[in-house]
């Protein structure tokens, strides 16, 4: 009797299993060939992601960047606000940086620059004079959407991108903290200076407490790519000037870029608000510190521009708060 009961139970379980498989078999039968291809491609995508993030020179990364995140140089007439459109538009560290770049590139017609943290492409721009007076072109990267709209309206003769530079060797998305000065907090002519404090969430920087009191902030997702990716898309192997003012991620960006042998960067201007810049890393990659203040100016060892920088260290002009470091002694000399 027990044997018959056991057989019946087993048969019943088998029937339940078979009935549960019927819907799956029917679903499989209903999937079209195109549907199967989609499922297979999706599975392949999952497997690819399991291998790790896409690298900076991955063909898929370059294609997406080219088709969706890069705008070509404008051919329309410039649309600037005027030579003195803002009190302070040539203030802060701009005069000092301009002095250094004038010594390094004042006689070089034509060149390629990258300016990250480009704001509206006019206010405190380190590259605008190179473009207008010496016929340079380049790449302007600005992650804040409102600032980027203004940048595009200036009709710069350079590629533009509403993205951010990744601090990793692969593309990533991050949260951007944008800043807008509160009404009455300061003179409206300085509003763009506060817009320039836009930063990646989680990045620490000086004077954050006072900045929070004077500005309103909002958050947005932004796509980031390694700088190498942009240069590969644009087929650029030599960058004459790299200007980084990205509120705290400068070290990481340079670590990922200079690890590659696919591009060469001649001169680098980098902001260092927290005074935590990795000078040893730059020296290990063959860069000589030629000027240092709130920003640092580096020249690749052996570059012709270095001769101008060393000459300036011997006979500097009267510019306050400028420190030069020669290629041979790496000893700072302050120009009085």
Q: Is the pLDDT of residue 318 over 50?
A: no
Return the DSSP state at 221. Answer: E
pLDDT of residue 331: 32
Instruction: Evaluate whether residue 3 is within a structural domain.
Output: no
What is the rounded distance in angstroms from the CA atom of residue 38 to the CA atom of residue 44?
10
| 158 within some domain | yes
Alpha-carbon distance of 121 to 141, in angstroms, equals: 9
Residue 52 domain-assigned? Answer: no
Range of the domain at 71: 59-335
Report, as an integer, the average pLDDT of 78-101: 75
Mean pLDDT value across residues 274-279: 89
Bridge partner residues of 299 (DSSP): 267, 288
Which ranges in the chain belong to alpha helices (H)?
2-30, 33-50, 59-68, 94-105, 128-134, 145-153, 191-195, 208-214, 227-233, 250-258, 279-284, 305-314
If you count DSSP H runs as helices and E runs as strands, how many of each does the chain have, helices first? Answer: 12, 13
The answer on pLDDT for 333 being more than 70 is no
Share of the chain above pLDDT 90, in %: 49
- Of 46-55, 201-210, 316-325, the one with minimum mean pLDDT is 316-325
SS3 238: strand
Residue 154 inside a domain? The answer is yes
Q: Which residue has the higher pLDDT, 87 or 80?
A: 80
257 is written with which tokens?
């870029």
The vertex-280 CA angle with 274 and 282, nearest 5°, equals 90
User: Strands 322-325, 332-335: parallel, antiparallel or unpaired by DSSP?
Assistant: antiparallel
Average pLDDT, the chain: 79
On whether residue 248 sits in a domain, the answer given is yes
| pLDDT tens sequence across 157-211 | 999 999 999 999 999 999 888 776 655 545 455 555 555 566 676 676 666 655 6
pTM of the model: 0.76
Better pLDDT: 239 or 214: 239
| 34: its two tokens | 């195109």
How many CA atoms within 13 Å lie on the side-chain side of 147? Answer: 33
Q: Which range among 155-169, 249-263, 317-331 shows the weakest confidence by mean pLDDT?
A: 317-331
- What's the CATH code of the domain at 280? 3.40.50.150
- The mean pLDDT value for 126-154 works out to 95
Range of weakest confidence among 15-19, 199-203, 204-208, 268-272: 15-19
What is the CB-side half-sphere exposure of residue 319 using CA atoms within 13 A?
A: 21
Number of domains the chain is built from: 1
Residue 301: alpha-carbon gap to chain centroid: 24
Q: Which among 235, 30, 7 has a CA at the least distance from the CA of 112?
A: 235
In a domain, 72, yes or no: yes
> What pLDDT band is residue 114 in, cutting at 50, 70 and 90?
very high
Nearest alpha-carbon partner for 164 in 138, 192, 140: 140
* pLDDT exceeds 60 at position 254: yes
Between CA 158 and CA 121 the distance in angstroms is: 10
Say whether 180 sits in a helix, a strand or coil.
Answer: strand
Mean pLDDT value of segment 73-80? 96
pLDDT higher for 21 or 98? 98
Please answer whether residues 257 and 226 qualify as being in contact, where contact means their C-beta atoms are separated by less than 8 angstroms: yes
Q: Is residue 17 part of a domain?
A: no
pLDDT at residue 332 greater than cutoff 90: no
Within a domain: 184: yes
For 141, the token pair is 């990267």
**Helix 94-105 / helix 305-314 crossing angle, nearest 10 deg:** 120
* pLDDT on residue 321: 34
């Amino acid at each position: 009797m027990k044997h018959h009961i056991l057989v019946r139970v087993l048969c019943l379980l088998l029937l339940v299993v078979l009935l549960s498989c019927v819907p799956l078999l029917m679903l499989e039968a209903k999937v079209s060939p195109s549907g199967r291809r989609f499922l297979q491609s999706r599975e392949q995508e999952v497997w690819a992601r399991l291998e790790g993030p896409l690298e900076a020179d991955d063909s898929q990364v370059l294609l997406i960047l080219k088709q969706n995140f890069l705008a070509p140089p404008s051919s329309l007439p410039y649309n600037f606000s005027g030579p003195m459109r803002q009190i302070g538009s040539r203030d802060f560290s701009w005069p000092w940086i301009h002095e250094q770049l004038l010594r390094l590139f004042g006689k070089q017609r034509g060149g390629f620059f990258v300016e990250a943290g480009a704001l509206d492409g006019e206010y405190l721009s380190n590259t605008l004079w190179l473009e207008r007076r010496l016929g340079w072109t380049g790449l302007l990267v600005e992650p804040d959407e409102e600032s980027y709209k203004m940048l595009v309206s200036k009709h710069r003769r350079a590629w533009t991108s509403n993205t951010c530079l990744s601090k990793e060797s692969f593309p990533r998305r991050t949260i951007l903290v944008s800043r807008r000065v509160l009404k009455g907090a300061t003179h409206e002519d300085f509003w763009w200076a506060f817009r320039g404090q836009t930063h990646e969430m989680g990045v620490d920087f000086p004077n954050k407490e006072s900045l929070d009191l004077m500005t309103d902030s909002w958050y947005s997702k932004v796509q980031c790519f390694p700088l190498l990716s942009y240069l590969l898309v644009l087929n650029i192997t030599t960058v004459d000037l790299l200007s980084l003012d990205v509120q705290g991620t400068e070290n990481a960006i340079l670590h990922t870029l200079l690890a590659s042998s696919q591009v060469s960067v001649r001169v680098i201007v980098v902001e260092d608000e927290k005074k935590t810049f990795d000078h040893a890393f730059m020296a290990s990659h063959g860069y000589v510190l030629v000027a240092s203040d709130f920003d640092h100016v580096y020249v690749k060892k052996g570059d012709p521009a270095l001769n101008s920088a060393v000459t300036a260290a011997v006979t500097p002009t009267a510019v306050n708060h400028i420190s030069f470091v020669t290629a041979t002694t790496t000893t700072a000399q302050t120009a009085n």
